[in-house]
Every structure is written in structure tokens, then in C-alpha cells.
Structure 1
Amino acid sequence: TKQQARDIIANEADRSGSHYVVDRWVGGLLTNYSNIYKRIQRYSELDGVIADKQFDDLLEKEQVRMLRLHRKMSKLYRGVKNMESLPAMMFVVDPVKEATAVAEARRIGIPIIALIDTNGDPDVIDYPIPGNDDAMRSIRLVTGVISDAVMRAKKAFDVDLEDESEDESDKSEA
């Protein structure tokens, strides 16, 4: 992801409870998810070890090695740390720069929404949003709208689940 978009994307994804990648796309994150998931679990374990009080009891050399590995893994996996299955859709800022991510999503049929500039091919994107993918203001605006839509959809989904569970409990009582 572009430097100017990283903070915006991370903040909006956190706000909507979505997963994100802002530093470097890990090849196979979608197409080889079962193996990548093991690395994500290792990152979570490392988080726990570093937060644990026993970490201070380790040798300094071991602490440095673990912190270095944690820093490296954090860049790759911090936004997908809690991702337990493949996403239902993907939002991309500048699909030209994120061609690997777009190709992986297309290969396994994940719909793609993208903020795309005039230098990009809208045919490879399921839902292109024409706009300036370099300017922070346009990135903030579009990402905010997408984030709001995700939050509304999650809220509506939760309401539907509650309605279904109430209907099932009414049927079992009758």
C-alpha cells in the first residue's frame, strides 16, 4: 500500500472491524491460506510470549531474536491476525500497485472493490470506483464510505441473526 494511504486504511479497517494489509502483500495469503494461517498463528503465539512476564527471564540474545521476528511478522500479519477464514470481499486502493492481491482474489472468486485511477484497468475489478488513488483526501473519503457500508452491513447481519434465533425459539415453544 502507498505510504500516504497506510494509516487511513488501517484506521478505517480497525473502525469497521475489518482485516487489512498495508505493508507488503504476502504471496499466497488468499490462495494458500491454510499454510499462511499457520504463520499467522505463530505470530499470535509470539505476541503472547512477548506480553508474558516470563519473557523477561529469557536470555537477552533470545529476547532480541524474538523481538526482531515479531517486528518482521507484525509488518506482514498485524491486520490479518484475527482472520480465521477467507474474506467475503476485498477493497483495494490502487490495484495497479496491488496487482498480486487482485490476481489472488480473482483466482478464488473474491469480489473486488477498488479505488482506481486512469492508469488502471477497470475490467479486472468487479466494482471499480473511479478516482484519484494518490491523494489522501480521496483515499480518506472513499475508504470512509466503504468502512461505513461495512459497519451498516455487519449491523444488519447481526439483526437478521437475532431475528432468526427469536423465530426458532418461538417455533420450539409452540
Structure 2
Amino acid sequence: MIPRRVVARSSRPSNFISRYTSCLRHHRSVSTETSSGSSPVAPKGPLIVDFDEQVKLAASEQPQPSIVPQTRAPGKPLTKLEEYQHLKAAKHASDQIGGILEDHYKPHELITNPPYPRDITLELLLASGAHLGHATALWNPGNQRFIFGIRQGIHLISLDVIAAHLRRAAKVVHGVSKNGGIIIFVGTRDGQERAVIEAAKRTKGYHVTERWVPGTITNKDQLLGDQKLRLLNNLDEEIKLTPEQKLRLKEKLAASTKKDVNKVQVENTVQLPFGHPAVRPDLVICLNPLENKTMLQECAQYRIPTIGIIDTDVDPTCVTYPIPANDDSLRSVQLIVGILGRAGQEGRLARYEAEAGRMEELKKQLKRQEEAARIQEEIAEKAQVHKDAEQAASESRQRELEQESLLTIR
């Protein structure tokens, strides 16, 4: 951990010490002399200060060239305003001595409040030690385009390259999360568990912190075939069954199992039946590729994109989107996985906003359709009323003609 940085602010010590000691000496001499018998004794009890009088007194006095009041003749008591000025001067003199504590590194903030992709800076990567590689004897020649130079037998990774690849990986995570893809964070080293879990929570994804079980992707139906699969909407909520759908499902299960419909238990959410093929992830983020080569091979076999932290001793072609950085520094790993988690969170929130806008548009469209149907009904009702009125008028006219014909016959 980087120690706290203290920046000293002081002028020449002799000036401050002399000003401060003279001020204190004068204040001490005045206080001792005012307590003698020749000077008036201060009244006992609470002190009542007339602020209007003090303001007038301060306005009538000449401004001092320095904040430190000039010494007065011994034996003459100080007013309350002068004592206040002496105390302010002493405080001002003492404040110039010492240091100011600047912002320092807080380890927990990279987990609880990681930076966003837009906050990626070279200073942040440098402070986390992401540019430190391995010894030159352990390097992989495929990382030559990422290396900036050598210092004391250690390869240094270019900060510009780290920032560019990290931004690209963040855009990939943002796009997968926005489209509702399944993201898995894999970090099996000591100390990575908490950061991996927090990043998975932000993206509503999944995490692996203990050990990658071989065959999780290639042999998924045998390993994960007994797991229940639930259907989620674009808001990551389980789709619930309507009462009609629930009744039809009960009748279907009762007919297949030859049981009473009332005894069949059905959950309120839509579920896929047992035996349905297991789901593969859409993106895998690996924080330590050297320990998870089996996982990377399984992803490559089924063309699942991967993101990995590639140190100078790792082959960059083992992942789809490499992030050249120091994978041994816990602070560097927490920074990278925190940024990727934030990118997934932004993509998920963008999906929620798009879904909310789509639902609002559907509501408006349904409202417009209902309004159009209502207008059509009103038009049809008016046409029917008009038709009924015309029919009644024609019938009445026919009756009048019949009555006139009967009168003429008579």
C-alpha cells in the first residue's frame, strides 16, 4: 500500500517562530500585567460584550500593516477586540507550520466504488502498478508490441496500450450486457474473490472463484443437465404465468401423470422442462489465464469470446480480447475487473431504459388503438342512429300514404 502523502507548507522557520513567540510573549505579558493591582479587575460571572461598540471601535482604529498586532505599552489592558486579533494572528502564524494530508489510496474503494470506463487515466493505471511485467527471461515474444521498455531486468508495459485495450474490452462488456448476454467472471487466485463477486453482481452475471470444472462447456449437458432453467425478460425478471396458462399447464401435467388436477403443483414462473440443453455463456472474463488454460480451450472450441489480463509471460493469442497488464498485482486486477463490472452495469441499465421506452411506446400504441376503436364505435353508433331515424321516417311516411289512399277510396 502506498503511504500517505504529506505536503509541507511553510516559509522560513525562523520568521514564523519569531512571529509566533513574540505574539505569545506579548499576550502573556499583557495577561500577567492586567492581573496586577493597578489595573481594573475583570468582573466575575458571564462576560457580556457589546458588539456594536466593538464594531465601531474596530472601524475607528487604523488598519495594521500586518495581521500580527503591534505591541502595546506595558500596564495598559487590551480590549476584547485586540485580544481577538492577537488570537487570530497566533492562529494564522501556527497554521503555516506543519503539513496538509492529501488524498491517499484506500484499498476498499476499488471494490465498493470502482471507477467507470470514462475515468480511465494513465495516472490511475500507473498508481495501480498495471505497467509492471515479469523478468525479461520469462517474457513471451508475442507481447513485444505491448512492451514499452526494460528497467532493472523487468519489462514495462506501455500505459497507452493498457488504456486502449481496457477501453475496448469495456465496450465489449457493455455491448454484451446491453443485449442481455450471459457473462462469467473467472478469478481463482487468492484475494480476487471479493472483486470478482462484486463485478458479477453489477452485471447480473455469474462468477467462478474456486476452480473451473473441466467440461463445464464441452460436457455441459452431463454436468448441468439437472439444473432448472428459468426464463427472464429484458428487465432480468422471471416471467410469471397467468392464471389461464397455469390451469392449462396443470391439466397437461395431470393428463400425462394421471393425477388429479388439484393435486398437481405448478410454480408461478415459466420454467423450461428437465432435460433441456444447458446454456453456454456469451462472454467469459478471465483474470488469470495461466491457471485456466482448460477453460480458455473450451471457450475457443465453441467460439465463445474471452477477455483476459495478459502479462508479459502469457501468450496473448489465448484470449479474444487481451488486456496487457500486471496480473500479479491485486490492486491492478481489482481496478481492471471493477472497470469491466462498471461497463456491464452501464450496459444493463441502458437495456432497462430501452425496455422501459419500448414498454412506454407499446402503451402509447395500445392507447392509440383503443382511441381509434372508440372513435370507430362512435361513428358506427351515429350511423346506426341515423339509419334507424331514416327507417322510422320512411315507415311513418308509408303509413301516411296508406291513410291518404284509404281516405280517397271512401
1:13 to 184, 196, 200: 200
User: RMSD across aligned C-alpha pairs, in angstroms?
Assistant: 2.0
Q: 1:39 to 1:97 in 2, by over 3 A?
A: farther
Q: 1:113 to 1:134 in 2, by over 3 A?
A: same
- Normalised by the length of structure 1, the TM-score is 0.67
**Within 5 Å, which residues of 2 pair with 1:20-169?**
20-38=207-225, 85-169=279-363
Shift of 1:150: 0.6
Q: 1:107 to 1:114 in 2, by over 3 A?
A: same
Contact 1:94 1:117 in 2 (8 A): no
Shift of 1:39: 5.5
**Number of paired residues?**
132
Cα shift readout 1:76-105 (whole Å, capped 9, x = no counterpart): xxxxxxxx7322211101212111111111
Between the aligned partners of 2:204 and 2:284, the Cα distance in structure 1 is 14
Between the aligned partners of 1:8 and 1:140, the Cα distance in structure 2 is 6
Name the % identity. Answer: 27
Shift of 1:31: 2.2
Cα shift readout 1:94-147 (whole Å, capped 9, x = no counterpart): 212111111111111221111111111112211111101111000100010000
Aligned-partner SS, 1:3 = coil
Q: Does 1:170 align with 2:364?
A: yes
- Normalised by the length of structure 2, the TM-score is 0.30
Shift of 1:154: 0.8
5+ long unaligned stretches in structure 2: 1-187, 229-277, 370-410
Contact 2:212 2:295 in 1 (8 A): yes
Between the aligned partners of 1:24 and 1:124, the Cα distance in structure 2 is 19
Between the aligned partners of 1:157 and 1:36, the Cα distance in structure 2 is 31
Residue identity opposite 2:197 in structure 1: A
* Bigger Cα displacement from structure 2, 2-11 vs 130-139: 2-11
Bigger radius of gyration, 1 or 2?
2
Residue identity opposite 2:288 in structure 1: D
Q: 1:167 to 1:32 in 2, by over 3 A?
A: farther
